[in-house]
Structure formats: C-alpha cells, structure tokens
Amino acid sequence: MRGELKQVIAQDGTQCVLKAVDGWADPEVAQLLMETRAPGLPRCYGISDEMVLAGEALPENPHYLFEYVEGVTLRSIPEDLLSSHNLEQLFFQILDVLAWIRIVSRKDFAHLDISPENIIVTEDRQAVLIDFQASRFLGSESNARDASRVITAGYAAPEVYFGTMRPETDLYSLAMTILAVLSGQMASGLDRSTMRHNLKRLDRSFAERLRHCLSEDPNDRRQAVTDTLYGQSLEVSLSRYERSDLANELVREVENLEDSCPYVFSECPFLKVAEIMFEARE
C-alpha cells in the first residue's frame, strides 16, 4: 500500500519508490515497465545497484526504482468526485492501461492486485495503476503456484482462489474496487444488498458494465468491455508466435509510437486507426 512505500531521492533529484526485486511474481513485468511510457503507468528507472541515490545508502538487496506518482489513492479521493461520470472515466482509464500493456507486450496479462489502494488519481484526474509485484504474463494454462498467489480479500475474482489466472480476472477486481470506493467500505465487507444499492447510484449503462464484470464466469465479463479497445484486443491473439493479421497490424502501429508517447488510448490519435481495423475485421 502507499503508506508502506520507501521513498528515496536519486542523484538527479528524481523522487523514487523502492520495490524489492525478489518480491516480483514475474520479473518480465518490471522489465516492460522500464521500456514502456504511458500516462497511466508508473515509470521504472532501473535497479538500485545501477542507480546513484542522493544521501541514501543503497539497499543490501537489489530493488527496482519506480517513479513516485503524485496524487491520492482512489480510496482517498474527495466524496464530491465520486460521481458516476468520474468513476466511469477512471474505469475506462484503467482499461486503457491494461490494453496498452497487452498490446505492447503481445501477451495475455493480468495485474492481479487491483484495489483502491493501487490506483493513484493525479491532480488532473488521470488514473495511474501501481503495484505490479503480483502481476504476470499468462501462459497457456494461466495457473499460478500456491506460493505465488496474491489474494486481496474481497477484490480477487473467484477463479483466483483455485490458482487460475485470466485477463478477465482484473475486470472483477476493477468492478469491486469501484463499488468499495463508492460505498466507503472495504470490498470484503460488501454484501449483495449493499452492492445492489450502490449499483443503483450509478448511471444505468455503467452499472450494467460492472454487473457483467462481477460475473463468476470470466467469459461473461467480456460483455462489459466489448466496445473498448481492451475488450476488442481480447478477441485477437497477440502472441509473438501466433498472431492474426489484424493483431500484426495493431502491434505494428503500437511499435511505431515513440517511447515517450503522451497519449492515453481515450485521447490518442492511434485509437481511430485501431477502430478502423476492428471495424474492417467485422
């Protein structure tokens, strides 16, 4: 959680957060965060033994140095910002982040620890997804060893308790995150009556998305995102070795973007290209 982060200052004055290297479920995720730039993702600057810290002793064990994201956790945003419109925009921004990772990596991906404490909202209301230590790229079986499972009570999808990981697992956690923030409670304390009450506080279309996200069947959750780039990307294979022609085009477009691309998908000119490609497919 945010309160448990160890903050340090690099020699160049950059404010950083330390994350132990040996605490990661999938080191490839950290490597991707070193190579990828997007507004909804924290930047990874490298490993502590490769960096110089200002007035700080280097940790004994290697640590990743992450950008410190200015803002407040989704749990802490003011109540007057908890409108259906604002929460829906944050929902779509997190979908953009998940889509970006999936397309750039060309692999199935799951964050596996989405919660109100792991989403930072910046001053300009950009949602930034943090804490990727439990995240992983998913293999064909998408199973995790018992020792590597991360289960945050109330936010984890049912399949996680059986060690099965799916990209759609994050949709369940994201929906529970929205409802927990709206109710002012921890997800583990929400009963069905409270969830129904809070869904009624949201615009009907958004509430319907969240209902689909909360389905026990991961395949049913896709109905919540069919009209988003994230949902559409789930329909094509982005594997490095088994890609459809459409996926090849999509990947090439992303590869042509500069590393410092300032856009999120909802504001990116590339989105129109992606929409045209997906419409052509249909």
Given a cut of 90, is residue 162 above it in pLDDT? Answer: no
pLDDT tens for 9-39 read: 766 677 888 888 988 999 999 999 998 888 8
Q: Which two tokens stand for residue 127?
A: 């949602």
List of domains in the chain: 2-67 (no CATH), 72-233 (1.10.510.10)
Q: Which two tokens stand for residue 20?
A: 């132990």
Helix axis angle, 27-35 to 84-105, nearest 10°:
100
pLDDT tens for 67-122 read: 999 999 999 999 989 999 999 999 999 999 999 999 888 899 999 999 999 999 99
Kindly tell me the sign of the dihedral angle through the C-alpha atoms of 170, 171, 172, 173. Answer: positive
* DSSP for residue 10: B
The helix/strand/coil state of 205 is helix
Mean pLDDT over each residue of the chain, to the nearest integer: 81
